[in-house]
Amino acid sequence: MLQPPASALYTRGLSPRQNGDMDDRAGHRVVIVGGGFGGLSAARSLRHAAVDVTLIDRRNFHLFQPLLYQVATGGLSPADIASPLRSVLRRQRNVRVLHGEVTEIESGARRVWMGGTSVDADTLVVAAGVAHHYFGHHDWQALAPGLKSIEDATDIRRRIFEAFERAELEIDPARQQAWMTFVVVGGGPTGVELAGAVGELAHYTLPGDFRRIDTRQARVHLLEGAGRILPTYDARLSPVAAASLKRLGVTVHTDSFVTDVRPDGVTVQSGQRTDTIPARTLLWAAGVKASALGAILARATGAELDRQGRVIVTPDLSVRGHPHVFVIGDLAHVPVPGGQPLPGVAPVAMQEGAYVARLISRRLRGLQTGPFRYRDYGSLAVIGRSAAVAQIGPLRLRGFLAWLTWLFVHLMYLVEFENRVLVLIQWGWNYVTRNRSARLITGEPDDERMGR
Amino acid sequence: MLQPPASALYTRGLSPRQNGDMDDRAGHRVVIVGGGFGGLSAARSLRHAAVDVTLIDRRNFHLFQPLLYQVATGGLSPADIASPLRSVLRRQRNVRVLHGEVTEIESGARRVWMGGTSVDADTLVVAAGVAHHYFGHHDWQALAPGLKSIEDATDIRRRIFEAFERAELEIDPARQQAWMTFVVVGGGPTGVELAGAVGELAHYTLPGDFRRIDTRQARVHLLEGAGRILPTYDARLSPVAAASLKRLGVTVHTDSFVTDVRPDGVTVQSGQRTDTIPARTLLWAAGVKASALGAILARATGAELDRQGRVIVTPDLSVRGHPHVFVIGDLAHVPVPGGQPLPGVAPVAMQEGAYVARLISRRLRGLQTGPFRYRDYGSLAVIGRSAAVAQIGPLRLRGFLAWLTWLFVHLMYLVEFENRVLVLIQWGWNYVTRNRSARLITGEPDDERMGR
């Protein structure tokens, strides 16, 4: 038996003699690591199965990540898009939730450790997701925060609204313009949504609030390395999105790479050309890498990892040679014959979770299950009030209809859980008034950016 | 002319040549420092006056502090009780809002400095409020946080919900009980409301969410140095409040003083008796001291400070010898002949703000104004769902009627500003379902408390 590292024994404040399995469970024990779209979908899909489920997460809530950019731009509050996992799973009596971080997986993956506490698993489902990736430039992280967690979102919110406050106080025109310049790195859905929301703030929400600056003079630059924004979407939607962004004062730079990030701006390489954009607010939506749990699982099972650190799984989403270990969601690399691996989006993770739950139930009844197949219902990205692009099967939507579709899909998901009708009301209000009442500057400012 | 300290020149990232007055204003210049109940009331009451108002605040929002305990216990989101100052004052064209911290007041108080930026004042209104006071025990602050800011509230929220999570994971019964024991220091309205809300959480919201612990076994201790809780209220209301608290599992200790605070508990002195309460969650609602701006103002004007650092003002709320300088709100010590100085509550601050605004308007028209008189409409404290105590003129209310009164008074204030109808809906929902959907654990945990 592999012992967890000695330091881990104390991590969660338990003394060594308290170590050991907390299990008094009798049935087939399913341990799910991660309460995101994949893990939560797996847990809920197991509600009628004769299994004992343990869901472990570092956070005490499920986060609806697709709306995180709304928190970052002051439209919604964190609690509007986060549901306590215990609430969501309260009535599902075959699930218990443990709040903690998995620090070790034993060889063979029959037991996981959270510091000094261990949990036994007959079946293990790892759905630990991804973090930001700065392509080796770790120092960029503090200057250009990404958008994955609630803390990221309130940090970005602080940066955006503080920038306008600083511009109002600034006397030097060049410095003032740098405070009113925003650079979003990465032209995928998150980058597009973030850039559109900042443009909308500057053009529609904030004018009138300030006395010395005209917030409509704000500039938003969206940088994308590929030849078009939304590169994973249908090619016809990219120019539509770019035109909507332009109306919100967003300048789109394609074939453009960031080569340097400083507190007062970025250097951008576009072909042979190198430009410097003076800007005080830099936001990162460019790249992700796998959770460290991918490497921990690889050590325990010999699983193969791809370049981003994701676990390469077999067609039934299990780890090769370990049919009782599954990886789902953004952490899984699901090979698609002759194509790109499945994208890291919520529908993929949810379908994977439901598939694994079905496979586990059927296996306990002695039944075989065919390989996982992803059913693509479409993609959506929103650019601002009434503007979005959508591809749904053969349909390509844009403008208000796409926006309504986007609103409907996201609200239906939220409403499924809880009293998210409030979010609908908040949105209705925001839509009519262009209000963003959650624009609070909270937390500690970053000294380097503030020039002190 | 007193120069600001050299270090302050760089505090806000402005180079020395950019220093100087940002004023291009022509009329009578009123500078208000602080956007709480007092400062905001003064600014709004000056809306028809022929003055140019500058409102300076460190935060970009007005905070409805009486409901902060609802954020700390997961019932409301920060944005529900915070209104961006720019939104609130958007249509009042004679006001500009500056987001920054006043670091110096020049001798004579005709100019204030925010780092390297200065603003001239013909009339200065200081409404900078108070901070927590640990009676010389600064080291207690990290272990027993107080409840004054949004950050305090989300910190306390994290501590409370993390405690239940840790109890669920804990195997040792004594350690488990320590995680399920909460100590609130201070039996004024804030302490009473906080203790009641924690008791309600444990008894009504959380049971059913956990599998190993019974949250109804949680213990809440409320410590008060005086002979009864709510010592500033009518004596008949204290036993009513104590009985309501008891029903929520709160143990009230009167004549009790904290003599030591540690990560794992407190020492309490009650008369000759010394007890130790093992508890992992300690909350501070015991004492306040004046903002540092009180001392800065005293240096600039020779104003007298009381023991808490508050500025002792004349009957018209000005600083003796400086009729153009006013202090209002919690920072002001308003002597009451033959009685205690006015309490640090929102109604006092709001009436003071309105009074000073009226005085300024009248003075510009050559009119005299009599001394400030506080009109006491009553006091309210809420203990939980349907339970509160209230004194309104000769009336002494308790139970559901007091609770309805409390709800009405607080909602009317919130609704006055903004789309706070949402808060009403949220409360209605919470009341029916006993739900607390905003119970997010966010931010970094405190290592010492966590035992690592």
At A276, the amino acid letter reads T
- Tell me, what's the pLDDT at A3? 39
- DSSP label at B146? B
| Closest CA in chain A for residue B264 | A13
In the predicted structure, residue A4 carries a pLDDT above the cut 50: no
Q: Classify the phi-psi angles of B392: left when phi > 0, otherwise alpha if psi is within -120 to 50, otherwise beta.
A: beta
User: Cβ of B169 and A426 within 8 Å?
Assistant: no
Residues in chain B: 452
Establish if A299 touches chain B: CB-CB under 8 angstroms: no
Q: How far apart are the C-alpha atoms of A101 and A118, rounded to whole Å?
A: 11
Helix axes B399-417, B421-433, angle to 10 degrees: 150
Helix axes A399-417, A421-433, angle to 10 degrees: 150
Residue B223 bridge partners (DSSP): B185, B253
Encode pLDDT of B46-70 as tens digits: 999 999 999 999 999 999 888 899 8
| Token pair listed for B145 | 């946080």
Q: How far apart are the C-alpha atoms of B174 and B164, rounded to whole Å?
A: 14
- What's the longest Cα–Cα distance across chain A? 74
Among the residues of A329-398, which ranges form H helices?
A: 346-364
Q: Do B442 and A150 contact (CB within 8 A), yes or no? A: yes
Q: Do B115 and A450 contact (CB within 8 A), yes or no? A: no
Domains of chain B in sequence order:
6-58+100-132+289-364 (3.50.50.60), 140-286+386-450 (3.50.50.100)
Pick from A56, A175, A440, A452 the residue to mutate for testing the B interface (most B CBs within 10 Å).
A440
Encode pLDDT of A83-111 as tens digits: 889 988 988 999 999 999 999 999 999 99
How many CB atoms sit inside 10 A of residue B43's CB? Answer: 27
- Tell me, what's the pLDDT at B17? 33
Establish if B14 touches chain A: CB-CB under 8 angstroms: yes
Encode pLDDT of B401-430 as tens digits: 888 888 778 777 765 555 566 666 666 666
Q: Do B280 and B164 contact (CB within 8 A), yes or no? A: no
User: Cβ of A437 and B84 within 8 Å?
Assistant: yes
**Beta B95-99 vs B28-33: how paired, if at all?**
unpaired
Instruction: Give the B window 406-425 contacts with A, CB below 8 Å.
Output: 418-419, 422, 425
Is pTM beyond 0.95 here?
no
- DSSP label at A316? T
User: Cβ of A61 and B441 within 8 Å?
Assistant: yes
| Token pair listed for B103 | 């670091």
Helices and strands of chain A, counted as H and E runs? 14, 26
In the predicted structure, residue A320 carries a pLDDT above the cut 90: yes
In the predicted structure, residue B393 carries a pLDDT above the cut 50: yes
Nearest Cα to B27, choosing from B51, B47, B55, B49?
A: B51
Active-site residue, from A193, A200, A224, A352: A193
DSSP B3-17: PPPHHHHHHTS--GG
Establish if B165 touches chain A: CB-CB under 8 angstroms: yes
Q: How far apart are the C-alpha atoms of B439 and B423, rounded to whole Å?
A: 16
In the predicted structure, residue B294 carries a pLDDT above the cut 90: yes
Q: Do A69 and A380 contact (CB within 8 A), yes or no? A: no
Q: Residue B309: helix, strand or coil by DSSP?
A: coil
Encode pLDDT of B64-112 as tens digits: 888 899 899 998 889 888 888 998 898 899 999 999 999 999 999 999 9
pLDDT: which is higher, A341 or A2: A341
Q: How far apart are the C-alpha atoms of B221 and B183, rounded to whole Å?
A: 5
Q: Residues 6 or more apart from B430 whose CB is under 8 A from it?
A: B75, B436, B437
Encode pLDDT of A258-304 as tens digits: 999 999 999 999 989 999 999 999 999 988 889 999 999 999 999 99
Residues in chain A: 452
In the predicted structure, residue B247 carries a pLDDT above the cut 60: yes
Q: How far apart are the C-alpha atoms of A158 and A450, rounded to whole Å?
A: 12
At B34, the amino acid letter reads G
Active-site residue, from B104, B162, B193, B200: B193
pLDDT: which is higher, A111 or B400: A111
Q: How far apart are the C-alpha atoms of B318 and B311, rounded to whole Å?
A: 10
In the predicted structure, residue A40 carries a pLDDT above the cut 90: yes
pLDDT: which is higher, B124 or A116: B124
Nearest Cα to B128, choosing from B287, B289, B321?
A: B289
- Tell me, what's the pLDDT at B415? 57
The stretch A197-208 carries a mean pLDDT of 93
Q: Residues 6 or more apart from A416 whose CB is under 8 A from it?
A: none
Nearest Cα to B373, choosing from B341, B349, B346, B351?
A: B351
Q: What angle do CA B26, B27, B28 make, to 5 degrees?
A: 130
| Closest CA in chain A for residue B83 | A437
Query: Is A193 tagged catalytic?
Result: yes
Judged on CB neighbours under 10 Å (0-12, 13-18, 19+), A235 is exposed
Q: Given CA atoms B252, B256, B258, B264 in this order, what sign does their dihedral have?
A: negative
User: Cβ of B452 and A61 within 8 Å?
Assistant: no
pLDDT: which is higher, B2 or B290: B290
pLDDT-based confidence at A428, cuts 50/70/90? low
Q: Residue A169: helix, strand or coil by DSSP?
A: helix
Residue for token digits 């006055």?
A: B416
Residue for token digits 């612990």?
A: B213
Helices and strands of chain B, counted as H and E runs? 14, 26
Establish if B326 touches chain A: CB-CB under 8 angstroms: no
Shortest Cα distance from B422 to chain A (angstroms)?
7
| Token pair listed for A331 | 């952490």
Instruction: Please give the helix or strand (H or E) that residue A125 lies within, else none.
Output: strand A123-126
Nearest Cα to B202, choosing from B354, B384, B370?
A: B384
Residues of chain A with Cβ-Cβ distance to B153 below 8 Å are none
Instruction: Give the B window 201-240 contacts with A, CB below 8 Å.
Output: 206, 208-212
Provide the strand spans (E) within B50-109.
51-57, 61-63, 82-84, 95-99, 104-105
Residues of chain A with Cβ-Cβ distance to B161 below 8 Å are 60
Residues of chain A with Cβ-Cβ distance to B14 below 8 Å are 170-171
The stretch B182-208 carries a mean pLDDT of 94
Establish if A78 touches chain B: CB-CB under 8 angstroms: yes
How many CB atoms sit inside 10 A of residue A394's CB? Answer: 6
Establish if A79 touches chain B: CB-CB under 8 angstroms: yes
Q: Do B176 and B170 contact (CB within 8 A), yes or no? A: yes
Residues of chain B with Cβ-Cβ distance to A73 below 8 Å are none
Nearest Cα to B169, choosing from A6, A4, A11, A3?
A: A11
Q: Residue A26: helix, strand or coil by DSSP?
A: coil
| Terminal CA-CA length for chain B | 52
- DSSP label at B344? S
Q: Residue A450: helix, strand or coil by DSSP?
A: helix
Task: Give the one of A86, A87, A429 whose C-beta lies nearest to B419's C-beta.
Answer: A429
- Tell me, what's the pLDDT at B6? 35
Residues of chain A with Cβ-Cβ distance to B452 below 8 Å are 10-13
- Tell me, what's the pLDDT at B404? 82
Average pLDDT, chain A: 87
Q: How far apart are the C-alpha atoms of A114 and A428, rounded to whole Å?
A: 43
- Tell me, what's the pLDDT at A289? 86
Q: How far apart are the C-alpha atoms of B299 and B269, rounded to whole Å?
A: 39
Q: Give the distance, in angstroms, between the CA of residue A9 and the centroid of all CA atoms in the same chain.
A: 30
The stretch B260-289 carries a mean pLDDT of 93
Q: How far apart are the C-alpha atoms of B384 and B284, rounded to whole Å?
A: 19
